[in-house]
Amino acid sequence: MEGGKQIADWSAYALSDVFHSDCPARTVLDHVTSRWGVWVLMALREKDLRFYELRERIEGVSEKMLSQTLRTLVRDGLLWRAVEPSTPPRVTYGLTPLGRGTSEPLASMFGWIQEHAVEILSTQDEFDRNSRA
């Protein structure tokens, strides 16, 4: 929706400048790169997981924030959600093709960060030492 109206054809926005606040890509980017969105997408790269498995896998996320993040990513079409009727219900999440496409560049970024983390932390220490001088 834009200004309270539903937009029938989003293709007109497809080539919007991502630096403009009305670009729809910014909304998607906010969801993908949200504090917990990145972790959910990365956790589901390995395999489909149930809610409690995601909560255990992603250290520090509350149930409320995980639920909100999952709901957003399902709405965006990046995740699928399957509910098995049981007591309590078994809810499983997985990546859709769109979600897999999003998680691949994130995995590359994670790999780069892991490879360079020690160097970055060392540079931060050096900067902090020089800033105090």
Q: What is the pLDDT of residues 73-100, one digit of tens each?
A: 999 999 999 999 998 889 999 999 999 9
Residues of the chain with pLDDT under 70: 1-16, 133
33-132 has which fold? Arc Repressor Mutant, subunit A (1.10.10)
Domain ranges of the chain: 33-132
- Return the pLDDT at 111: 94
Strands of the chain (E only): list them: 49-50, 79-84, 90-95
Sole residue written with tokens 């917990």: 36
Between CA 42 and CA 47 the distance in angstroms is 10
Encoding tokens for residue 10?
Answer: 């989003």
pTM assigned to the model: 0.81
Radius of gyration of the chain (CA): 19
Question: Beta-strand (E) ranges in 4-131?
Answer: 49-50, 79-84, 90-95
pLDDT score recorded for residue 11: 60
